[in-house]
Structure 1
């Protein structure tokens, strides 16, 4: 197989780039490679974990998008790179049940290669973190968390029905960044809905205890202090315990311990304390930074390797001031647009862009539940910072998801999809119960 432009990774940046290039250049020139068959916007995985978002309704089929948006799709995980021959190797695909080989190992040639495989969890060597926590890196992680949550709720309900009393359940979230904060708030709201849908003996604030552990002096440490304070206040209103300056040093099957000797009961534990690039990137012969990200220059080209680019969380990229570009969806979106211009120029036989990629921070929005009580920030607008909270902040947050869908599906289909989901939410349970 051969393609002019091969994009590995169908996350926020990779998929947007494939769709936009496909509409301009067609399936003979643009190919997307991914190890999964459908796409879910990663910032919404906390909703999948809480059960408030159904992946079977939210997921976008890569094969459908390839047909509709004009690119080719290859199913499988990239395992090797031969930069001299301009060729990648794609792993065989096996059936989930019996392990039967569905697709063999394949190779795919390219003229230009874009690596956009995102990130995975960084456990920082904490004992038990990998074995006893769930990280929301992919949809299967979020689904595993949701199903385990349902089982624990059912067990707690049964204990109360049998007259055994029961102590309910303890959920510990390690990491007070955006993922941890949003998951904590979403779980609190979802637990109330679960109680209404059959777990009526549970008093959610007493029996579903949520603890958020953060190593820094405050949650949402990279964001302005006012945003952090607003988020902490809203979490406190939802009876979510927040512990800061907490250095986790051990995790077991039923508890989390810190370096001060404190022990936190944990029936269900989530790791949201840091990310790193996927480990296989270190086997490709490309220059990588300390966190495993691929080192790229100011034009997103991999240093020392011709016609190979990287974007998103897996790229070690700096902004115009020499500061690392943060691993955010908005950065991947901007990088996809930058490479779109690059490849369109190259397709016309022109030189690549002379201007380097410049990251523009349009602020950060943090969802605190699904209603109007949302704490957020819209910052760095012309050098200023604007704090927003409440209904308007919620509308801004929802618009980010719609903007991603617009880039992938187009305006009309995004509008129709949003309207359809509005109707579906009024005819289906507010949480997924199966």
Structure 2
């Protein structure tokens, strides 16, 4: 039986949940208000109000918009909404624990570093991967009429994205219906393919140079944005791969494989890039990565090699800057939020635990007044109330750390988002699991 106090807390939680959802929806609506729907032939879409538009899911927003479109204020509001949804699910006996954290200590010399791949085997693996890359015909070009038809097609894809961002159901946006509502003469008359070509809300566009190549598909012409250089540092390299969906799906599996099998290398990062032992272990890891790539039919040598390089630098950054930060923050959060301990005292208590060796120096610097951790902590725990279960609070903290403090993103993230965009637009079928 619920006590009056508990009943009051749950009632207030529901009210707060409604307020947090309303705040998130208001922020999303204000950002989407600038995306004006183009007039259709039957005038059937524009009644979707600019002031109160139908809102897309968070997943749709994440997939179709640029990284800068979802600012910190919107992400914080979404966290608050997730908190109250979590409390509501808890009330109804539901729990979803992804277990995805930024920490997993790898003790030096305490883990299996895997097999040593002989140089002769490494050469054979490279030759096998090299034989897989199919050259792309970059001479055959579309003629003028074909390019006009492609422009019309790409215009409808952009209109479809706008409709999806306005909350329209995907099953109501088939190609035949779109062509009927937006015939060629309407698109040309209103220059829809120009006005929405590089809209800064979108996280993607159809590259003009790639669109001229007759041998490519629309999936291969699709390129993700890199506004202000704050998203994909090596986007031009990714663009040059001309990867098809099968290759990108294989790459996601390849990346998952090496991040799991090569996790042991984290233990050697602390010795520094210039040490002889580090270079030896990095070479061993490279041989293992190339060996792993041979298990995926669509991965070629350049893609596997570039992926390994990105794995190394992203591992360096994650270990040196982010690893175990969610673990440290959740322990501080429990002390600060639940026990009303001041931040500095909480850091001292967590430091004395000796539970997070990778972050001990950061905590020591904080205690010595040399490093400011509190601002980062506050930004990553905003909206997470004391009623949230530890497992869910840690998940939300880890998500905020990744959103706010991760560096330029890798091809794994590029390929994952590109596949999602292509599925939303109908360029490819959805992956069945």
Larger Rg: 2
Structure in which a larger fraction of residues adopt strand: 1
Give the shorter-chain TM-score range. under 0.3
- Whose RCO is larger (CA < 8 A, sep 6+)? 2
Normalising by structure 1, we get a TM-score of 0.18
Normalising by structure 2, we get a TM-score of 0.18
Structure in which a larger fraction of residues adopt helix: 2
